[in-house]
Structure 1
Amino acid sequence: MKRILIAGATGYLGRYLVKSFKEQGFWVRVLVRDRGTLAQNGPFFSPAVSSIVDDIHVGDVTKPNSLTGACNGVDYVCSAIGLTRQAGEQTFYDVDYAGNLQLLREAERHNVAKFMYIHVCKGEIMNNPIVFYKQAFTKQLHHSTIPTPIIIKPTGYFSDMSDILKMAQSGRVYLLGSGSYKLNPIHGEDLADYCADAMNANTVSELEVGGPTVFMHREIASLAFKVLHKQPKIVYIPHVVIKPIFPVLKVINPTWYALASFFYEGMGMDVTAPPYGKEELKDYFHSLLDINNS
């Protein structure tokens, strides 16, 4: 039985990773800051996993001493560590780069055979603080002593599409440009299954993956209105209106600049990848509505 450490196990994707790796026969240790959160359901329907983990290591990737022994006796590491927004004093550098690097060094000390890192699709051509530190870590991973580095690059999560449904509920959806850029987002459970499959395979080092259906952005907006039984009201914002805001935002609030520029870049290009999975966005939207109405 292969033994794996999953870091970021209480996040949206991390919980599904625990479930998928267990279903594929792995012994699973999790790295968490608070063991109590494992018993709670996570965001966007992600499950409680306390009953299925085999071992718990309490630690924080921003505190290197707390990681001692986390990789002892495991064959593989899978890191879903990363900030979706800056919280408190922790920065994107602290977590996405330095934190993952500390975990990588611990994995090297224990001769871990494979280290899987969850990155973002098209990260190599993006230019914003969030992706910069993720991309910087992937370079460290490629140059590490780990025999098999694996970098998973999903297009985007269904959970990210929740904001479009919220806008539709409020009456209007705002999109950049003409809304014609393409995206095939993936459900967290499908992505976790893909990661477990990739860990079991003799795989290449970098893998892009998306969900089963490719949409234009305006089609996602229209789908949100359709499940709400509302007439679509979509406002298209020209790029030239938004772009001049970024230099000012960078000075006033670097955190909001990092987040806004990340989404701006993602919305300003096609972000598609080979399709995988069975979950459809329409069903996910309906699930969100069922929860909100219950």
Structure 2
Amino acid sequence: MNETAPNPSPTVRPSAGTVLVAGATGMLGHAVATALHRTGTPVVSLSRDPARARALRGIADSVVLGDATDPGTLRGAFDGVDAVISCLGAPMAFRTGDRRSFRDLDTVANLNLIEAARSAGVRRFVYVSLLVRPAWSGTGYARAHEEVVDRLAGSDLSYGVVRPTGMFPIFDPFLAMARRGLAWIPGDGRATTNPVHPSEVADACLDVLGRAEDCSLPVGGPETLTRQEIVELAFRAVGRTPRILHLPRSALLAGSALLRPIHPRLSEVTDFAARALTNPFVAPPSGRRRLADHFAEVVRSSRSVPTEPVH
């Protein structure tokens, strides 16, 4: 499957029919559901949390409750569905809750979605993976995604894969570090990337959905920055002088190995970060949204939230 170029003006053809969005309550899934809704495409949200699903009122035409890691809950979920866009996946954020590996969670859930889609006669399946390069292709995080891609390629489904670089909100922790006055990054900070806004990844999903052929679409933002420059943008957004600590990549890799038997997911996040943040992570540029504007918006939003009860 060859990588293809993004369509500068993605649209959903009328034949898209009803589209089920898996992971619609997440950052990217919400952007995808919103973009589909704007085109007038009927949207079905697959959600496991009824409370979070309520936030999709006015965007999703219907909500199906189900947990993709449990195939029994997917029975009937794809009835009347013509296409699927899966944005389903565990967050990259450092959290202490669910410790399952990305393979045990992301891969299992998406393989179940593929099988349910096949059984229901779904026409097309779009999967959001990540941009994969040799430097991090062997990480657990990348392998978990590529197992899903391989299953799609071996299925009888028409499919497309969207491969973004890092989406803007992934870099928000640098704002928290900058507020505290000290940030850290692995390596010397010279590795480059072109982060992309979730709404522009959503546009790429609609682009791939509207194509007839099997395809893989790498997606990056309009500007290429070094990791050092990204952290400096975060400090600028909060109005503080940059103080940046450069950690040896070997230290993160050693930490990942120690975490593996204790917290598999955190181990995989650390391993991926050590490799991906110290190597070029650049995709063909698209869109217009810039990371500095995103940081400024996040800072403005946080300042607008009252820190004390309003009487």
The two structures have a TM-score, normalised by structure 2, of: 0.86
Instruction: Give 2:48's aligned residue.
Output: 33
Mind listing any 5+ residue stretches in structure 2 that lack a counterpart?
Answer: 1-13, 305-311
Give the aligned partner of residue 114 of structure 1. Answer: 124
Work out whether 1:278 is the aligned partner of 2:285.
no
Q: What are the superposed Cα offsets for residues 227-272 of structure 1, whole Å, 9 maximum, x if unpaired?
A: 2222221222222333333322223432321121122122121111
Count of aligned residue pairs for this structure pair:
285
1:105 deviation in Å?
A: 0.7
Counterpart of 1:46 in structure 2 is: none
- CA–CA distance in 1 between the matches of 2:35 and 2:77? 20
**C-alpha distance in 1, partners of 2:162/2:285?**
13
> Does the CA contact (< 8 Å) of 1:30 and 1:56 recur in 2?
yes
1:153 aligned partner, one-letter code = R
CA distance in 2, matches of 1:270, 1:206: 19
Give the whole-Å Cα distance in 2 for the aligned partners of 1:256 and 1:52. 33
After superposition, the C-alpha distances for 1:8-56 in whole angstroms (9 at most, x for unaligned) are 111111111100111123111110112331333xxxxxxxx31121121
1:137 aligns with 2:185: no
Which residue of the partner structure matches residue 45 of structure 1?
none
Distance 1:252 1:116 in 2: 34
AA aligned to 1:18 is A
Given the superposition, is the C-alpha separation of residues 32 and 262 from structure 1 closer, same or farther in structure 2, using an over 3 Å criterion?
same
Aligned to 1:166: 176
For residues 121 and 234 of structure 1, the distance between their equivalents in structure 2, rounded to whole angstroms, comes to 27
Opposite residue 57 of structure 1, the aligned amino acid is V
Counterpart residue identity of residue 271, structure 2? S
Q: From the superposition, tell whether residues 36 and 250 of structure 1 become closer, same or farther in structure 2 (CA, over 3 Å).
A: closer
Give the deviation of 1:129 after TM superposition. Answer: 2.1
Instruction: Tell me the distance in 1 between the aligned counterparts of 2:276 and 2:220.
Output: 14
Q: Is the 8 A contact 1:210 1:274 kept in 2?
A: yes
Residue 190 (structure 1) aligned to one of 183, 200, 211? 200
Task: Report Cα offsets for 1:100-119 as digits up to 9, x if no partner.
Answer: 11111111112212100110
Question: Aligned residue for 2:279?
Answer: 269
| 1:123–1:135 contact (8 Å) kept in structure 2 | no
**Which consecutive unaligned segments of at least 5 residues does structure 1 have?**
41-48
Amino acid at match of 2:52: T
Q: Describe the shift of the 1:95–1:250 C-alpha distance in structure 2 as closer, same or farther (beyond 3 A).
A: closer
Give yes or no for the alignment of 1:96 onto 2:106. yes
> Is 1:12 aligned to residue 27 of structure 2?
yes
Residue in 1 that maps onto 2:189: 179
Q: Deviations over 1:101-153 (max 9, x none)?
A: 1111111112212100110111665222222221111111110110x211111
Shift of 1:175: 1.4
CA contact (8 A) 2:162 2:204 kept: no
Mapped partners of 1:168, 1:142: distance in 2: 43
Partner of residue 105, structure 1? 115
Q: Which stretch shows the higher mean deviation, 248-257 or 8-17?
A: 248-257
Q: Which has the higher contact order (CA 8 A, sep 6+)?
A: 2
227-236 or 25-34, which moves further after superposition? 227-236
Give the stretch that moved more between structures: 212-221 or 197-206.
197-206
The TM-score, its normalising length taken from structure 1, stands at: 0.90
Q: What do the CA deviations read for 1:199-240 (whole angstroms, capped 9, x no partner)?
A: 113455211101111111011111112222222212222223
The residue number in structure 2 matching 1:22 is 37
Trace 1:227-238 onto structure 2 (pairs within 5 A).
227-238=237-248
Q: Give the % identical residues.
A: 29
Q: Indicate whether 1:241 and 2:256 are aligned.
A: no
Q: Secondary structure at the match of 1:244?
A: helix
- Secondary structure of the structure 1 residue equivalent to 2:172: helix
The reply to whether residue 257 of structure 1 matches residue 231 of structure 2 is: no
Q: Please say if residues 255 and 270 of structure 2, whose CA atoms lie closer than 8 Å, have aligned partners that are also in contact.
A: no
Contact kept, 8 Å, 2:21 with 2:43, in 1: the verdict is yes
Kindly provide the CA deviation profile for residues 72-120 of structure 1, in whole angstroms up to 9, marking residues without a partner as x.
2221110011112674475423331111111111111122121001101
Q: Is the 8 A contact 1:164 1:221 kept in 2?
A: yes
Contact persistence 1:61–1:95 (CA under 8 A): no
Q: 2:88 aligns with which of 59, 78, 81?
A: 81
- The answer to whether the aligner puts 1:52 opposite 2:63 as a matched pair is no
